[in-house]
Amino acid sequence: MIITTVKELREYLGAQRTSGKSIGFVPTMGFLHEGHLSLIRRAKAENDTVVVSDFVNPTQFAPNEDFESYPRNIERDEQLATGAGADVVFYPSAEEIYPRGSSTFVEVAGDITRVLCGASRPAHFKGVTTVVAILFNIVQPRRAYFGQKDAQQAAILIKMVADLYMDIELIVCPIVREEDGLAMSSRNTYLSATERAQAVILNKALREGQAAFEKGEDNVEKLIRQITGKINEAPLACIDYVSIYAYPSLKTIETVSDKALAAVAVRFGKTRLIDNIILEK
Amino acid sequence: MIITTVKELREYLGAQRTSGKSIGFVPTMGFLHEGHLSLIRRAKAENDTVVVSDFVNPTQFAPNEDFESYPRNIERDEQLATGAGADVVFYPSAEEIYPRGSSTFVEVAGDITRVLCGASRPAHFKGVTTVVAILFNIVQPRRAYFGQKDAQQAAILIKMVADLYMDIELIVCPIVREEDGLAMSSRNTYLSATERAQAVILNKALREGQAAFEKGEDNVEKLIRQITGKINEAPLACIDYVSIYAYPSLKTIETVSDKALAAVAVRFGKTRLIDNIILEK
C-alpha cells in the first residue's frame, strides 16, 4: 500500500498503535535493492507493522549533485518492499515534507559531520538529520533501520537520537554486496560496464587493509597508504577520500587501538561510490 | 513529586501512557509566578497528567547575560506547581539534558528568529528550540503550554512544531499581569523599588498604542513612535526595541492590516523586561 500524505499515514499508524502494534521504520530514497530489502526483512521480523519511506530528499543534495537524475521507480519499489514485508510505503512529495516556508533544521555539529563525506558535501548531513527527524516525528516508530553502508550517516543519526533524547531504537544492519564484493547502491546503475568492472576495487582495497590490520599493522597512515595504492590500480578510479577514524565517534586517531572505521569514497566518471569496513581488535 | 532523571521520568510517564492518560506539559525556567501557574491550571484542566519542567537552560543565555543570577527556588516551585495541579516537577541537571559531547541543535531559520529579541540575543532562540525539542522528546506530551508574554518564542515554537511535524498541540495562554499592569516575570525580582514603579510604563505604552490603533491609526511607524515616546517618559527606561510585526509570521509590515504583534524590550538598570500586545482588526 502506498500512502502519500502525512495525514493519511498518521491515521493509519494511529489505528495500528491503538491496537498495540509496534512500528518499525526503514527510511530510504527508493530504487530499492537487496540492501534495503534486508533492512525491511529485519524490521518485519522485529516489529508488527513496517513503514518504508521512499523519498529522494532534495535538501541533502548540493546543486551540483545528482538529485534530478537519481534513479526512481515507485511501482517497482512498492512491489519489492511489500514482498520483503513492508505494510506501507510512504511516498510523499517534497511539498508534503517541506511545506511552503518550512525553515527548521536539525544539525549535528562537530567533527562527526565534518570528516569523510562531510568534507566534500558540507550541507549533506544537515539535510539528512533534518529529514530523518521529520520522518521520525511523522512515523513515531519504536525501531528504525539503517545500513552500515552509510556508516557516517548511521553514526550521526545515532548521535542525533541520543542528543535529542528521541525515544527510538536505531539498528544498523550489515552492508549487502554483489557477488564480486561491490556494495549495493542505487547509484551503481550509473556505472558503465568498464566502470562497474573496476568498481569492485573499493571492497578489494578495504579487505586488503583489513587483512594487513589483522596481521598486526595498526598505523593509520600506513593502512591508508596501502588502501590508496590498491584503489589506484583501477585506472578509472578517482579517489575522494581514504580515511580511518575511531568508530562511532569519528574522532581522529593515529593508531587503531579499539574499533575503527576504514572508509573510502571514489569517483568513476560522474558516479561517486562509498564503501567501508570496521577494523576491530 | 520532583523527578531529576530522564530515566525515572520516562518510567513514570510510560506507566501513565499505558493506562491511557493524556499528558500535558508546561516547560518553565522555574521561580514560578502566577503566569506559570495559569499555564499549569489550564494544562490540568485539559489533560490527565501534568508535567512541569523546571530547568534554567544554559544554552539560551549569552555569556554576558544573567544565567548565574537567574532566580531559583525548587522547593517553592514544587509547592506552587503541585498546588496548581502538576503531577510531576521535572528538575534535571544541565548534564542530564546535555550529556558530555552533546552537539545536536534544532534551529528555526529566517526573520522569525532574527527580529525583536533575536537581534540583541542572536543565539537565544537556537538554545530555546533545542531545549524544547529535547524536553518534548523526553516528555512526549499531547499538549504543551506557553505564555503569550514570550510571543516571539511562542511563534518560533509553533513554527518548529509545524516544520518538524512534531505530534504535539501547542497552546499559547494570555499574559498574566500584576495589578498595575506589569507583566509577570521571574526577572521582576531584580527591580529596585524605583525601577519597579517605572516598569509599568511598558504596558501603559502598549495600551496607548492599542487605543490609537483602535481609533484608526494603522501606520506602523506612527504607532511605534507613539509607544516609544510614552516609554521614554519613564526616566530609567532604556529601550532595546519597540516593534510591530505581522503575527505570528513576524514578517515586516508598514500598515497593520490583519493581526500584528506590538512588542517592546526595555532595560531598567541591568534588568531587561519584555511585553507585548496583539493588534487585531
Nearest CA in chain B to A95: B163
Indicate the residue among B173, B200, B217 that finishes a domain: B173
Q: Min CA distance, B166 vs chain A (Å)? A: 5
Task: Decide if A236 is inside a domain.
Answer: yes
Q: Min CA distance, A32 vs chain B (Å)? A: 26
Q: Residue A117 pLDDT more than 90?
A: yes
C-alpha distances (whole Å) from B142 to each of A65, B12, B47 are: 40, 16, 8
Residue B159: its chain A contacts at CB < 8 A? 103-104
Domains of chain A: total? 2
Closest among A170, A93, A160 to A133, alpha carbons compared? A160
Give the residue ranges of DSSP H helices in chain A: 6-18, 34-46, 74-84, 94-97, 111-114, 117-120, 124-139, 151-163, 193-199, 201-214, 220-231
B191-231 pLDDT per residue, tens: 999 999 999 999 999 999 999 999 999 999 999 999 999 99
Assess whether A200 and A127 both reside in one domain: no
Of A104, A108, A165, the CB nearest to B134: A165
Q: Min CA distance, A131 vs chain B (Å)? A: 8
Q: Say whether residue A94 is in contact with chain B using an 8 A CB cutoff.
A: no
Assess whether B227 and B156 both reside in one domain: no
Q: Which domain holds residue A237?
A: 186-276
Residue A182 in 3-state DSSP? coil
Of A53, A114, A163, which to mutate for an interface test with B (greatest number of B Cβ within 10 Å)? Answer: A163
Task: Decide if A221 is inside a domain.
Answer: yes
Burial of A159 (0-12, 13-18, 19+ CB in 10 A): buried
Q: Say whether residue A8 is in contact with chain B using an 8 A CB cutoff.
A: no
Query: Average pLDDT of A249-260?
Result: 95
Indicate the residue among B173, B202, B230 that finishes a domain: B173
Q: Min CA distance, A223 vs chain B (Å)? A: 28
Q: How confident is the model at residue A152 (pLDDT cuts 50, 70, 90)?
A: very high
DSSP assignment letter at A215:
T
Q: Min CA distance, B74 vs chain A (Å)? A: 24
Query: Average pLDDT of A39-52?
Result: 98
Closest among A100, A81, A92 to A39, alpha carbons compared? A81
Are the Cβ atoms of A133 and B108 closer than 8 angstroms?
A: no
Task: Decide if B179 is inside a domain.
Answer: no
Assess whether A18 and A136 both reside in one domain: yes
Amino acid residing at A93: S
Task: Decide if A181 is inside a domain.
Answer: no
C-alpha distances (whole Å) from B40 to each of A184, B83, B85 are: 53, 9, 6
Indicate the residue among B115, B139, B173 that finishes a domain: B173
C-alpha grid cell, residue B274: 519584555
Work out the widest C-alpha separation in chain A, in whole angstroms. 57
Q: Say whether residue B131 is in contact with chain A using an 8 A CB cutoff.
A: no
Assess whether A124 and A212 both reside in one domain: no
B131-154 pLDDT per residue, tens: 999 999 999 999 999 999 999 999
Question: Rounded to 5 degrees, what are φ and ψ at B66?
Answer: -95, 35
Using the Cα atoms of residue A61, residue A63, residue A66 and residue A70 in order, give the sign of their dihedral. Answer: positive
**What ipTM did this prediction achieve?**
0.95
Assess whether B145 and B207 both reside in one domain: no
Amino acid residing at A40: I
Assess whether A77 and A127 both reside in one domain: yes
Exposure class string for A220-238: b at 16+ Cβ within 10 A, else e: beebbebbeebbeebebbe
Query: Average pLDDT of A137-160?
Result: 97
Nearest CA in chain B to A157: B104
Task: Decide if A71 is inside a domain.
Answer: yes
- CA B267 – CA B66 distance, rounded (Å): 13
Q: What is the CATH number of the domain that holds A97?
A: 3.40.50.620
Task: Decide if A178 is inside a domain.
Answer: no
Are the Cβ atoms of A165 and B137 closer than 8 angstroms?
A: yes
Average pLDDT, chain B: 97
Task: Decide if A212 is inside a domain.
Answer: yes
Q: Say whether residue B132 is in contact with chain A using an 8 A CB cutoff.
A: no
A177-224 pLDDT per residue, tens: 999 999 999 999 999 999 999 999 999 999 999 999 999 999 999 999
Residue B112: its chain A contacts at CB < 8 A? 103
Are the Cβ atoms of A164 and B104 closer than 8 angstroms?
A: yes
Using the Cα atoms of residue A188, residue A193, residue A199 and residue A204 in order, give the sign of their dihedral. Answer: positive
Q: Residue A129 pLDDT more than 90?
A: yes
Q: How confident is the model at residue A52 (pLDDT cuts 50, 70, 90)?
A: very high
Assess whether A162 and A198 both reside in one domain: no
B70-128 pLDDT per residue, tens: 999 999 999 999 999 999 999 999 999 999 999 999 999 999 999 999 999 989 999 99
Of B59, B103, B104, B126, which to mutate for an interface test with A (greatest number of A Cβ within 10 Å)? Answer: B104
Of A8, A102, A104, A142, which to mutate for an interface test with B (greatest number of B Cβ within 10 Å)? Answer: A104
Nearest CA in chain A to B166: A137
Which pLDDT score, from 0 to 100, does residue A281 have? 83
B230-263 pLDDT per residue, tens: 999 999 999 999 999 999 999 999 999 999 999 9
Assess whether B22 and B158 both reside in one domain: yes
Query: Average pLDDT of A85-95?
Result: 98
Q: Residue A67 pLDDT more than 90?
A: yes
Q: Say whether residue B102 is in contact with chain A using an 8 A CB cutoff.
A: yes
SS3 content of chain A, % helix, strand, coil (to 5): 45, 25, 35
Task: Decide if A8 is inside a domain.
Answer: yes
Assess whether A150 and A22 both reside in one domain: yes
Assess whether B74 and B165 both reside in one domain: yes
Assess whether A134 and A20 both reside in one domain: yes
Q: Catalytic site residue B36? A: yes
Of A103, A133, A140, the CB nearest to B110: A103
Q: How confident is the model at residue B281 (pLDDT cuts 50, 70, 90)?
A: confident
- CA B121 – CA A119 distance, rounded (Å): 30
Q: Say whether residue B168 is in contact with chain A using an 8 A CB cutoff.
A: no
B6, B36, B61, B201: the catalytic one is B36
Of A102, A159, A167, the CB nearest to B104: A159
Q: Say whether residue A163 is in contact with chain B using an 8 A CB cutoff.
A: yes
Which pLDDT score, from 0 to 100, does residue A181 have? 97
Express as a percent the part of chain A with pLDDT over 90.
Answer: 99
A6, A29, A36, A87: the catalytic one is A36
Assess whether B156 and B36 both reside in one domain: yes
Are the Cβ atoms of A164 and B133 closer than 8 angstroms?
A: yes
Q: How confident is the model at residue A141 (pLDDT cuts 50, 70, 90)?
A: very high
Q: What is the CATH number of the domain that holds B269?
A: 3.30.1300.10
Amino acid residing at A109: A
C-alpha grid cell, residue A174: 550489515
Residue A137: its chain B contacts at CB < 8 A? 164-167
